[in-house]
């Protein structure tokens, strides 16, 4: 007590007022859900309900769903969010009558130079970019790109061969990641990056790095959003600036080497062809993309495609290694569709039913994007629940995919859930690896072809198997997209169809 007079009375009053305000500000917004009668984990000052039950955010979602049901209130730091797993509400928000109120994703506003990528763009700008982009991903266009994809899947097989011959342990992501990246770079801008033969290619490092958001910065902008304009002014970005700059430079270089009337048929050229003649005329701007937007979209294709396809392929390999009977059945389908390791054909590939079921089930168990979100433009009532203007609606995809009422034995890998007969009984809007509705994954079809082709070519030649270094069960990473904490390691063995046939008899 003797030290109390250290400051004057005024200073003490100011200090105490400041502490009271600081404490009150940290919980100011935390009563919103309670007032509306929406259950949820109790928030902590400033931190909100982040990782209340598990430090892996998507496992935390699963545990919240078990405790609070299919709709609960949560707080990301100070920001109230409504987690929704109720199928009718999801239909309304993501697809049907309320989509116009939920057109946009949450924008953390510190996007640096990538402020105009399609996934961040809002309303009319988003519609314009998406409309120009979409024709690149029709079945017809993907079929045209199939030859390029096959070129890269063959390189993947060749690259794996010495590892298999030497019976080496393989870190699967370091093969599948570059395969996806090379496909993406070739199809989007006609350049063979050959990252599969150059594992230290900066493209891969930057693609992985991009969404490694700085935690202190995330906390700062979330707790004190009023400083965001200042951070923006200072050029601070949540997206790694060095990585986004690297992608821009790569795309700009390719772009600079082309003229408007290049005969190339890749995505870049399609976007360039949509470019308005005179960017300064407002009515023209509504039709095409400006130069900055073009470079941004190609950059996001490379970035959005890399981590997601690498993660999906890595988990497919893991599921195959852990379920050899399922893998054998898939190999049987592959062998009968493309006898004698025959060349993979687009139509036949897309008609393979068991392959489709295996891929779907793997994406159910391990959806690379474990959460999606939308923001309410207006206050709106859906199924007796009022969603306030600016509230973020969070769709916990991982929790939805692991809900035992929707998916009996949810942790088991069971492709038959997606068989022709069974898939009719899947509740709509409960399987969302690519999201759903007008704002779903733009690259869905393209990604599925990359996954299926890569898996089929590998399984034509090799079988996956677990080894001492394979982690079972996997410990999941708490940050970034859904993924393991440590790399998945497997072995591959060369297939000899003849000997397998003998075994079968």
Residue 23, both tokens: 């404490």
- Answer yes or no: are the C-beta atoms of 94 and 437 closer than 8 Å: yes
Q: Stretches 29-37, 227-235, 407-415, 432-440: which one binds ligand HEM (CB under 6 A)? A: 432-440
Size of the site for ligand HEM (CB under 6 A): 24
Nearer to ligand HEM, 231 or 320 (CB): 320
Q: How far is the CB of 480 from ligand HEM (least distance, A)?
A: 14
Nearer to ligand HEM, 324 or 480 (CB): 480
Nearer to ligand HEM, 26 or 308 (CB): 308
Distance CA 354, CA 155 (A): 25
- Answer yes or no: are the C-beta atoms of 442 and 133 closer than 8 Å: yes
Among 32, 149, 317, 442, binds ligand HEM (CB under 6 A): 442
Residue 110, both tokens: 């510190």
Within 163-192, the residues that bind ligand HEM by CB under 6 A are none
- Those residues whose C-beta lies under 8 Å from the C-beta of residue 60, and which sit 6 or more positions away, are 51, 52, 53, 54
Q: How many CA atoms lie within 13 A of 294 on its CB side?
A: 26
Among 64, 89, 447, 455, binds ligand HEM (CB under 6 A): 447
Nearer to ligand HEM, 109 or 130 (CB): 130
Nearer to ligand HEM, 440 or 465 (CB): 440
Within 276-315, the residues that bind ligand HEM by CB under 6 A are 300-301, 304-305, 308-309, 312
DSSP secondary structure letter of residue 278: -
Q: Stretches 143-151, 166-174, 237-245, 365-373: which one binds ligand HEM (CB under 6 A)? A: 365-373
Nearer to ligand HEM, 123 or 165 (CB): 123
Q: Stretches 15-23, 31-39, 402-410, 437-445: which one binds ligand HEM (CB under 6 A)? A: 437-445
Distance CA 181, CA 348 (A): 24
- x/- binding map, residues 97-136, to ligand HEM, per CB under 6 A? ---------------------xx----------x------
Residues 63-91, buried b or exposed e (16+ Cβ, 10 A)?
ebbeebebbbbbbbbbbbbbbbbbeebbb
Residue with tokens 């890399």: 306
Q: Does 476 bind ligand HEM (CB under 6 A)?
A: no
Q: How far is the CB of 465 from ligand HEM (least distance, A)?
A: 24
Among 372, 458, 476, 488, binds ligand HEM (CB under 6 A): 372
Among 440, 461, 465, 470, binds ligand HEM (CB under 6 A): 440
Residue with tokens 């035992």: 404
Nearer to ligand HEM, 312 or 392 (CB): 312
> DSSP string spanning 415-460?
GGGGSTTTGGGSPTTS--TT--STTS-TTHHHHHHHHHHHHHHHHH
- Those residues whose C-beta lies under 8 Å from the C-beta of residue 173, and which sit 6 or more positions away, are 310, 311, 314, 487, 488
Q: Does 160 bind ligand HEM (CB under 6 A)?
A: no
Q: Does 41 bind ligand HEM (CB under 6 A)?
A: no
- Answer yes or no: are the C-beta atoms of 132 and 271 closer than 8 Å: yes
User: Pairing between strand 392-395 and 79-84?
Assistant: parallel
Q: Does 446 bind ligand HEM (CB under 6 A)?
A: yes
Residue 263, both tokens: 């005969």
User: Residue 223, annotated ligand binder?
Assistant: no
Strand ranges across the sheet with 489-494: 170-171, 489-494, 462-465
Nearer to ligand HEM, 188 or 323 (CB): 188
Handedness of CA 85, 90, 94, 95 (dihedral sign): positive
Binding site listing for heme:
441
Binding site listing:
441
Interface residues with ligand HEM (CB under 6 A) are: 118-119, 130, 300-301, 304-305, 308-309, 312, 368-369, 372, 433-436, 439-443, 446-447
């Amino acid at each position: 007590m003797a030290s109390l007079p250290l400051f004057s009375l005024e200073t003490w009053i100011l200090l105490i007022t400041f502490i009271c305000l600081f404490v009150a500000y940290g919980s100011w917004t935390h009563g919103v859900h309670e007032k509306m009668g929406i259950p949820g984990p109790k928030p902590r000052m400033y931190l909100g309900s982040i990782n209340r039950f598990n430090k892996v955010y998507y496992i935390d979602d699963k545990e919240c769903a078990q405790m609070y049901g299919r709709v609960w209130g949560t707080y990301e730091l100070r920001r109230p969010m409504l987690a929704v797993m109720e199928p009718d509400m999801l239909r309304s928000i993501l697809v049907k009558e309320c989509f116009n109120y939920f057109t946009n994703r949450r924008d953390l506003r510190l996007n640096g130079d990538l402020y105009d990528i399609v996934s961040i763009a809002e309303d009319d700008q988003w519609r314009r970019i998406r409309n120009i982009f979409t024709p690149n991903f029709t079945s017809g266009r993907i079929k045209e790109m199939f030859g390029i994809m096959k070129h890269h899947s063959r390189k993947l097989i060749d690259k794996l061969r010495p590892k298999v011959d030497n019976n080496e342990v393989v870190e699967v992501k370091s093969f599948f990641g570059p395969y996806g990246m090379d496909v993406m770079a070739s199809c989007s801008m006609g350049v063979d990056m050959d990252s599969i033969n150059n594992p230290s290619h900066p493209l891969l490092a930057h693609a992985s790095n991009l969404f490694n958001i700085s935690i202190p910065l995330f906390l700062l902008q979330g707790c004190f959003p009023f400083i965001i304009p200042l951070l923006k002014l200072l050029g601070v970005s949540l997206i790694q600036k060095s990585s986004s700059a690297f992608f821009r430079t790569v795309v700009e270089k390719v772009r600079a080497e082309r003229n408007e009337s290049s005969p190339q048929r890749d995505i870049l050229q399609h976007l360039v062809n949509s470019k308005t003649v005179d960017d300064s005329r407002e009515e023209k701007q509504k039709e095409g993309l400006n130069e900055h937007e073009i470079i941004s979209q190609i950059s996001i294709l490379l970035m959005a495609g890399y981590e997601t396809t690498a993660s999906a392929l890595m988990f497919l390999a893991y599921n195959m290694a852990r379920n050899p009977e399922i893998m054998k059945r898939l190999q049987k389908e592959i062998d009968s569709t493309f006898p004698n390791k025959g060349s993979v054909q687009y139509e036949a590939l897309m008609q393979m039913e068991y392959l489709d079921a295996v891929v779907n089930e793997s994406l159910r168990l391990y959806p690379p994007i474990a959460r999606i979100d939308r923001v309410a433009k207006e206050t709106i009532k859906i199924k007796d629940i009022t969603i306030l203007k600016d509230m973020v609606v969070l769709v916990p995809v991982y929790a939805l995919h692991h809900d035992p009422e929707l998916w009996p034995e949810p942790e088991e890998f069971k492709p038959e859930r997606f068989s022709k007969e069974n898939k009719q009984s899947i509740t709509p809007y409960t399987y969302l690896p690519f999201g759903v509705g007008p704002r779903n994954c733009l690259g869905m079809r393209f990604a599925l072809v990359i996954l299926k082709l890569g898996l089929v070519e590998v399984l034509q030649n090799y079988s996956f198997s677990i080894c001492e270094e394979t982690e079972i069960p996997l410990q999941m990473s708490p940050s970034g997209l859904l993924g393991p904490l440590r790399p998945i390691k497997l072995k591959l063995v060369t297939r000899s169809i003849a000997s397998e046939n003998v075994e079968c008899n």
